[in-house]
Structure 1
């Protein structure tokens, strides 16, 4: 019999701030956190907007100076993870530290540190590269730092992936819970923005504005012309329903069905019919043992891209 898995904690670091309820209210009201970037030079491309996080707000959570000296993506990860555990009322005792797992995903990783190392390497040679900074550039570094700083000794898994990464780590976390390897799973993602990534996306033609329409994110709109980059981090704490009831904690919701797949098409394109998205939606519904008519809301990737939005619409429509 499949165990009931629930969400009991949420931690978020966003351009709207750290308070999850305030962030949710602003999103529901349709407020935008996009502003002209202050961190990155924009002279070379017409894209000016970004979702940026003021590093000062992280000091509300990261009280030791050492945490604030690590890469920005690791700071975001630490802050969101700490907030999530606090919200879930998890106390990291000696007994439970081995029963918590970290499941993390990121697309770009510590991209600013990678850029810095490569610049120094090619301009001044290997001796100019900080070996300590190099250790921060691997994709698992933010999750590993979270484990080290909080004393979490369960499995620590990092998956380098784009949008699909979240579904993959949720599925892995649920499997670890069902196998009895852990009692709690800290599941999340983080991204930071950088000069190189912005310019690369622009020249690939996927960053707004890619035409004469205004800059901005307008998914499924006929004037859509690319996405806008943002940085941030978010974690959820998931556990078995029976464990949560014993702890008498707030339950946000149940994860009743999960599925993942790959379209195996091209590196920079999705399969045009959307059939693999249809497949994974149907498998998730099957896993949840529900009927499609019971679904109240569908949240898409909403990339605001000419081709991808059409593929997503096809995939959802045919499910």
Structure 2
């Protein structure tokens, strides 16, 4: 039947606000050349904070993208989102106002909401009284604030969601958008994630999680290294314009690649009870490969989650071994996120954008800081410098701290 036919979904525009580069050109130059955006935080004093370095987008100015009034009424995470969407739409060449607004959607992941805006207003409440709180707090701090502002700005009336799935939210956003277009719920969807968690309050909270690195070392994020001890935090946003293939082709849109598979599973674990094996993560990869119609030996690059927690790294390596078996030692894998830090709900989409650019430029970005690869992992980890990408398909893997496993499969057209 006609409604059972799944439509093809391609990516036609990219928008990036990342610690090592704002905009595609700057981001790709840094990422492909191993240039890190991790440094000591500059926006607030750090002397009394346990976490003092991370992936801060220090050069970002909201008023370069939105007017001052809107900037004052919204949080930094929404500023990032609006900036990345603006770039993605320009890159795609699509005029949203000329589209049927009911056939355009937005799926934007977020985990922590407008924590900076909210915390500032709580301070106003306790230090100066309730009359000093902004009335816009009621909408600025919600995780859905970004997708709401995007819909308002571009007149979007179609499929809209805000996945809040911990550190894999934006992989889910891309997967949900892909599925919606496949099933003809939309023709065009802005999909991605944003996060602005680098605030003193959140740094104090997350310093007690036993997963984030404390201290001053900007090179301390070392996945699969014998010294691996956790990840560094980051902020930023990434946005992709997803389109139905014929829709994109008819308007002559640039195509970075096609999303061809999406898999999601759960380990049923939490921070205090880590997964015993990589079985469910492997199943997410298998689901994505099966939907894509690919064999493991057709994959040329895997973008890893690279949590840099020994138990997580071991499970990820085990999952890869279950899927790729004897091919694994010859399969290039990498964690470009080591140049950015972990931006929670924005991490997966930034990994996906990196993979799309890797396919475009036939170049695999490196993993940084891993100088002592743990011999227990039989991985061909691309370390220190970029390497040629010789095949046309890639996988992006992500894992949450609470059990979710998500994989996307991409191919170059």
| Same fold per superposition (TM over 0.5) | yes
Aligned 8 A contact 1:274 1:314 in 2: yes
In structure 1, the residue matched to 2:184 is 180
- The residue matched to 2:253 in structure 1 has which SS? coil
Aligned 8 A contact 1:225 1:304 in 2: yes
Once residues 139 and 214 of structure 1 are traced to their aligned partners in structure 2, the CA distance between those partners, rounded to angstroms, is 29
- The residue matched to 2:261 in structure 1 has which SS? coil
Listed as ranges, the gaps of 5+ residues in structure 2 are: 324-413
Cα 1:169–1:125 change in 2 (3 A) is same
1:125 to partner: Cα distance: 5.8
Q: CA RMSD in A?
A: 2.2
1:168 to partner: Cα distance: 1.8
Once residues 214 and 306 of structure 1 are traced to their aligned partners in structure 2, the CA distance between those partners, rounded to angstroms, is 19
Once residues 270 and 19 of structure 2 are traced to their aligned partners in structure 1, the CA distance between those partners, rounded to angstroms, is 33
TM-score by length of structure 2 reads 0.71
In structure 1, the residue matched to 2:201 is 196
Aligned 8 A contact 1:35 1:50 in 2: yes
1:205 to partner: Cα distance: 2.2
1:138 to partner: Cα distance: 1.1
Cα 1:57–1:213 change in 2 (3 A) is closer
Once residues 42 and 204 of structure 1 are traced to their aligned partners in structure 2, the CA distance between those partners, rounded to angstroms, is 19
Cα 1:312–1:73 change in 2 (3 A) is same
Aligned 8 A contact 1:209 1:226 in 2: no
In structure 1, the residue matched to 2:31 is 27
Is residue 79 from structure 1 mapped to residue 83 from structure 2 by the alignment?
yes
TM-score by length of structure 1 reads 0.91
Once residues 218 and 116 of structure 2 are traced to their aligned partners in structure 1, the CA distance between those partners, rounded to angstroms, is 28
Once residues 45 and 262 of structure 2 are traced to their aligned partners in structure 1, the CA distance between those partners, rounded to angstroms, is 40
In structure 2, the residue matched to 1:66 is 69
Once residues 299 and 256 of structure 1 are traced to their aligned partners in structure 2, the CA distance between those partners, rounded to angstroms, is 16
Runs of 4+ in 1 over 6 A off after TM superposition: none
Aligned 8 A contact 1:189 1:234 in 2: yes
In structure 1, the residue matched to 2:320 is 316
Once residues 214 and 299 of structure 1 are traced to their aligned partners in structure 2, the CA distance between those partners, rounded to angstroms, is 21
Cα 1:95–1:4 change in 2 (3 A) is closer
Aligned 8 A contact 1:8 1:249 in 2: yes
Out of 10-19 and 274-283, give the one that drifted further: 10-19
2:172 to 153, 168, 175: 168
1:56 to partner: Cα distance: 4.7
Aligned 8 A contact 2:40 2:218 in 1: no
In structure 1, the residue matched to 2:238 is 234
Is residue 287 from structure 1 mapped to residue 294 from structure 2 by the alignment?
no
Cα 1:247–1:268 change in 2 (3 A) is farther
Once residues 196 and 7 of structure 1 are traced to their aligned partners in structure 2, the CA distance between those partners, rounded to angstroms, is 36
Out of 224-233 and 175-184, give the one that drifted further: 175-184
Is residue 301 from structure 1 mapped to residue 308 from structure 2 by the alignment?
no
Greater strand content: 2
Once residues 221 and 126 of structure 2 are traced to their aligned partners in structure 1, the CA distance between those partners, rounded to angstroms, is 36
Once residues 115 and 81 of structure 1 are traced to their aligned partners in structure 2, the CA distance between those partners, rounded to angstroms, is 26
Out of 149-158 and 70-79, give the one that drifted further: 149-158
In structure 1, the residue matched to 2:156 is 152
Cα 1:45–1:177 change in 2 (3 A) is same
Aligned 8 A contact 1:213 1:223 in 2: no
- The residue matched to 1:153 in structure 2 has which SS? coil
Once residues 264 and 312 of structure 2 are traced to their aligned partners in structure 1, the CA distance between those partners, rounded to angstroms, is 18
- The residue matched to 1:256 in structure 2 has which SS? strand
Listed as ranges, the gaps of 5+ residues in structure 1 are: none
In structure 1, the residue matched to 2:143 is 139
Number of aligned pairs? 317
2:210 to 191, 198, 205: 205
Aligned 8 A contact 1:7 1:236 in 2: yes
